[in-house]
């Protein structure tokens, strides 16, 4: 009886080992196939980017702004902001969006491909990064709603070393009213009276009136540098409770990834890196913690009730 029991146990352990090995091998195969699939997507996307470069003849344009504007208007002309089933079928497939824009530009597609702000932003980022430009993605939030948002791209001007906004979704860039110089909307989110958006023919808030309500909280993401942090303007409702999926709480609780490297007062801190002070600040100014900001926001909210 003991020999039979031992044989049964050995057989069970053998089968368990075989099952474990099969599971491990299956997992490796699945991960390998997934990696190969991702590589194919990246390769196709890179090929589409190079085709767009050739189509727009970007290499012959010596001016930084001409290059950026040409890419922005190309994306705006070959896609349309529409979130529906035709959009969702391409989500997670940057190559498909780029291919759709090319197909429309070449007349092989009857209507522009359906995209929205984030997919247009990512497409522009791919095209400009292939030209060697430093980019970052900006998301802005309306704190009076359940964090309605909008996103766009910012590009580092290699001559001035300043960020400049390019919004392919609204087909605009931004400038200072006084100097006429192009600026970063993220950097000037507090001072909206000093700036204005510009379209292809003129400038004025009529091009992006809706965005005034979104300039409460600014999220900055530069994945290649491991940077992701957020700033708030004086208009932000810091104590307001939001919901996102199963999460409920203030901004940094429902959008924790946006606050990964901190949550700062934009009147004190720059958009260039986490905790980087704006010029003219006292050197001993102390960065407020996320918890402290949230606490003050809740107290202000409570005092208004």
pLDDT digits (tens, 9 = 90+) for 250-279: 999 999 999 999 999 999 999 999 999 987
- Contact predicate 221/228, CB 8 Å: yes
15-49 confidence digits (pLDDT tens): 666 766 666 666 666 556 555 557 687 789 999 99
Residue 183's DSSP bridge partners are: none
Q: Which residues of 26-38 are buried (b: 16+ CB within 10 A; e: fewer)?
A: eeeeeeeeeeeee
281: pLDDT strictly greater than 50: no
Over residues 141-156, mean pLDDT: 97
| Count of other CB atoms within 10 angstroms of residue 232 | 24
> What does pTM read for this prediction?
0.81
Over residues 165-191, mean pLDDT: 97
How far is Cα 277 from Cα 89, in angstroms, rounded to an integer?
43
pLDDT at 45: 92
Over residues 119-134, mean pLDDT: 97
pLDDT at 1: 56
pLDDT at 37: 58
How far is Cα 291 from Cα 252, in angstroms, rounded to an integer?
9
Over residues 159-171, mean pLDDT: 97
Across 8-12, 222-226, 251-255, the highest mean pLDDT is recorded for 251-255
| 93: alpha, beta or left? (left if phi > 0; alpha if psi -120 to 50) | beta
Query: Is the pLDDT higher at 13 or at 77?
Result: 77
Residue showing tokens 């900055």? 220
What H or E segment, with its residue span, contains residue 121? helix 117-129
């Amino acid at each position: 009886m003991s020999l039979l029991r031992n044989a049964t146990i050995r057989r069970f352990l053998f089968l368990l080992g075989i099952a474990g090995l099969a599971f491990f091998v299956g997992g490796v195969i699945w991960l390998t196939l997934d990696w190969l699939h991702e590589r194919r997507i990246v390769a196709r996307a890179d090929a589409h980017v190079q085709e767009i470069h050739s189509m727009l003849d970007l290499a012959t344009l010596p001016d930084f702004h001409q290059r950026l504007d040409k890419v922005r208007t190309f994306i705006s002309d070959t896609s349309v902001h529409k979130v529906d089933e035709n959009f969702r079928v391409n989500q997670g497939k940057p190559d498909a969006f780029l291919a759709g824009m090319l197909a429309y530009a070449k007349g092989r597609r009857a209507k522009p491909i359906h995209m929205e702000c984030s997919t247009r932003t990512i497409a522009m980022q791919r095209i400009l990064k292939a030209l060697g430009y430093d980019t970052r993605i900006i998301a802005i939030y309306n704190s009076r709603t359940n964090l309605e948002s909008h996103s766009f791209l910012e590009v580092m001007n290699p001559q001035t070393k300043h960020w400049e906004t390019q919004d392919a979704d609204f087909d605009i860039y931004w400038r200072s009213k006084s100097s006429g110089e192009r600026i970063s909307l993220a950097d000037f989110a507090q001072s909206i009276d000093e700036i204005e958006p510009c379209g292809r023919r003129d400038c004025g808030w009529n091009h992006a009136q809706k965005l005034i309500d979104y300039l409460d909280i600014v999220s900055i993401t530069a994945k290649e540098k491991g940077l992701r942090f957020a700033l708030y303007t004086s208009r932000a409702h810091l104590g307001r409770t939001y919901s996102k999926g199963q999460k409920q709480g203030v901004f940094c609780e429902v959008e924790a990834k946006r606050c990964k490297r901190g949550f700062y007062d934009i009147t004190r801190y720059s958009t260039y890196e986490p905790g980087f002070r704006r010029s003219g600040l006292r050197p001993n100014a102390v960065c407020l913690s996320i918890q402290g900001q949230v606490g003050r926001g809740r107290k202000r909210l409570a005092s208004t009730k």
